[in-house]
Amino acid sequence: MLARHTGSRVHVAHASTAGTVEVLRWAKSLGIQVTAEVTPHHLLLTTDLLGGYDPTFKVNPPLRPAEDVEALRDALADGTIDAVATDHAPHARHDKEHAFVDAAFGMLGLETALGVVATVMVSSGRMGWGDVARVMSTRPAEIAGLAGRGNQGHGRPVAVGEPANLTLVDPAASVVVDRDDSASLSRNNPWHGRTLTAAVRATFLRGTPTVLDGQLVEIGATTEGSLT
């Protein structure tokens, strides 16, 4: 309501319930300047995983029932939710390996984000790869004010003269997540043992490779094939 009466913009982080989706649809129907994001884990994981009180699945907002997950998927597909944001929260073992009530909130999500979105949204036919680029690149850059900044711009189209901020994806890949193979030093990985669709093969930041063949490139390393 503050945004409605002041004409300001509001961004909703970590949308996780069907009720939030209803409010977002209502606000957008009135022309209120509201944008929203959802995490990969809220698009797939449900309260069914909480029965064993595994602190790996302790997160804030908490995991929700299946009906909320379905509402979030619909909202991402139809544009009510604008973007996917990981809420990536690595923790040391001494922060997570406690009784559920004492463990820290949060889970890993950065490396697996694309695979989760592809598994949930692309494989199901709810979204195409162009839509994935929109919710994971174009819209996040626009919302954060990072689009259209010359060579520093993100979420820009692939075209001559545009900054080469690129992610190369193998859409046919199938990956079994192993927390011990993660580039993160943390192991609070809720996707361990799951099979996810698609894999990031390479990333480029302003033409410089940062990931090649699925592996991080050492900062300052000399590589062939940098884009200009």
Give me 65's structure tokens: 């029932």
Which tokens sit at 179? 């927390």
Q: Which of 68, 87, 95, 102 is catalytic?
A: 87
Q: Is there a catalytic annotation at residue 74?
A: no
Phi-psi region of 87 (alpha: psi -120 to 50; beta: other; left: phi over 0): left
Q: Quote the CA–CA distance of 88 and 67 in Å, as a whole number.
A: 24
- State how far the Cα of 129 lies from the Cα of 178, in Å rounded to an integer: 25
Find how far residue 221's CA is from the centre of its chain: 28
Q: Which residues are catalytic?
A: 87
